[in-house]
């Protein structure tokens, strides 16, 4: 039978114990007071009345607000310093490219000047050869003039011999009355021939002398135009320089000197080309004249030979 008061059945005690989580006694009993609940609450993490919640912890919202995360620039350094470093690197790259281009330019101008000098030597050698050829052509023309004169002398001698030979076998009495007129005609013919020969000699000599001067005039005229070399002004020079120093100024001076020499050499080459063309044209004209003279002398020699065969 059930007991009243302090006594309770064992089954009821066990059920009550399981119901209250195996806690003995009333939490508000005098034995536990309010400490049991406090103790129980303190054992929870993040409870309402227990330990500090995540709001005030080191990993919650408050912590993030109180200690904001540092940016990447703050981890590596000041933002301005990083931008300045990038700008310095780009500047150095540009300076390096300018130095490389300037070095290639200096090398190219030096090679071009070397090739131009070799070409000028070749052109000068060609002019010397043309000058010597012109002298030989002039001598040939003069010798042909001498041969023509000697051929005229031979023609006169042949005519005299023919006249003397004819007079031995059939004297011409009529000629005795016309000897003075015939002598005057012969003298006039000799004077005219001598005048023609003298003019031809003078023309040949003047042509040869002028052919030599053509070379000098062609080169000097073109070279005078190339003497107007000008140094680049400071604004023009500064466009090709970046933070100029002594090495950069020296490179600019070398490039400018090579370019000025190239201008002068190119002008001389142009003069050599013009003079060579004029000399070749004059020599072709002289060759044609020599051909005509040689044909005329050959015809006169053939004619004198035919006259001599008649005797």
Please say whether the beta carbons of 232 and 256 come within 8 A.
yes
Please give the pLDDT value at position 108.
Answer: 92
Please give the pLDDT value at position 118.
Answer: 93
Tell me the residue length of the chain: 311
Rounded to whole angstroms, how far apart are CA atoms 266 and 123?
Answer: 12
Residues near 105 by beta carbon (within 8 Å), at least 6 away in sequence = 255
Q: Provide the pLDDT confidence category of residue 222 given band limits of 50, 70 and 90.
A: low
Give the predicted TM-score (pTM) of the model: 0.55
Give the angle subtended at the CA of 121 by the CAs of 115 and 127, to the nearest 5°. 135
Q: Any idea which of 93-102, 156-165, 186-195 has the lowest mean pLDDT?
A: 186-195
Please give the pLDDT value at position 183.
Answer: 66
Q: Provide the pLDDT confidence category of residue 116 given band limits of 50, 70 and 90.
A: very high
80: left (phi over 0), alpha (psi -120 to 50) or beta: alpha
* Rounded percentage of the chain residues whose pLDDT exceeds 70: 55
Q: Any idea which of 56-65, 252-261, 269-278, 280-289 has the lowest mean pLDDT?
A: 56-65
Please state the separation of Cα 191 from the chain's center in Å: 65
pLDDT (tens digit per residue) in 186-202:
767 777 777 777 787 78
């Amino acid at each position: 039978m059930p007991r009243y008061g302090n006594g309770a059945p064992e089954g009821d005690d066990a059920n009550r114990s399981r119901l209250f989580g195996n806690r003995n006694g009333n939490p508000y009993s005098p034995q536990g007071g309010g400490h049991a609940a406090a103790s129980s609450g303190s054992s929870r993490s993040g409870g309402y009345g227990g330990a500090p919640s995540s709001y005030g912890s080191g990993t919650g919202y408050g912590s993030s607000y109180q200690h904001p995360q540092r940016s990447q620039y703050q981890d590596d350094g000041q933002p301005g310093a990083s931008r300045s470093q990038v700008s310095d690197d780009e500047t150095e790259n540009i300076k390096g490219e300018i130095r490389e281009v300037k070095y290639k330019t200096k090398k190219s101008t030096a090679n071009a000047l070397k090739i131009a000098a070799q070409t000028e030597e070749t052109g000068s050698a060609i002019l010397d050869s043309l000058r010597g050829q012109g002298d030989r052509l002039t001598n040939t023309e003069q010798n042909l003039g001498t041969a023509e004169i000697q051929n005229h002398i031979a023609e006169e001698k042949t005519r005299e011999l023919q006249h003397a030979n004819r007079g031995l076998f059939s004297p011409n009495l009529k000629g005795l009355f016309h000897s003075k007129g015939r002598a005057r005609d012969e003298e006039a013919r000799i004077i005219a021939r001598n005048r023609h020969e003298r003019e031809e000699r003078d023309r040949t000599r003047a042509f040869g002398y002028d052919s030599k001067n053509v070379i000098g005039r062609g080169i000097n005229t073109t070279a005078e135009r190339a003497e107007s070399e000008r140094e680049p002004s400071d604004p023009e020079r500064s466009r090709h320089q970046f933070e100029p120093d002594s090495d950069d100024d020296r490179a600019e001076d070398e490039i400018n000197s090579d370019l000025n020499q190239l201008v002068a050499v190119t002008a001389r080459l142009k003069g050599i080309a013009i003079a060579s063309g004029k000399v070749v044209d004059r020599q072709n004209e002289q060759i044609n004249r020599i051909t005509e003279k040689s044909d005329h002398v050959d015809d006169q020699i053939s004619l004198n030979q035919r006259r001599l065969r008649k005797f």
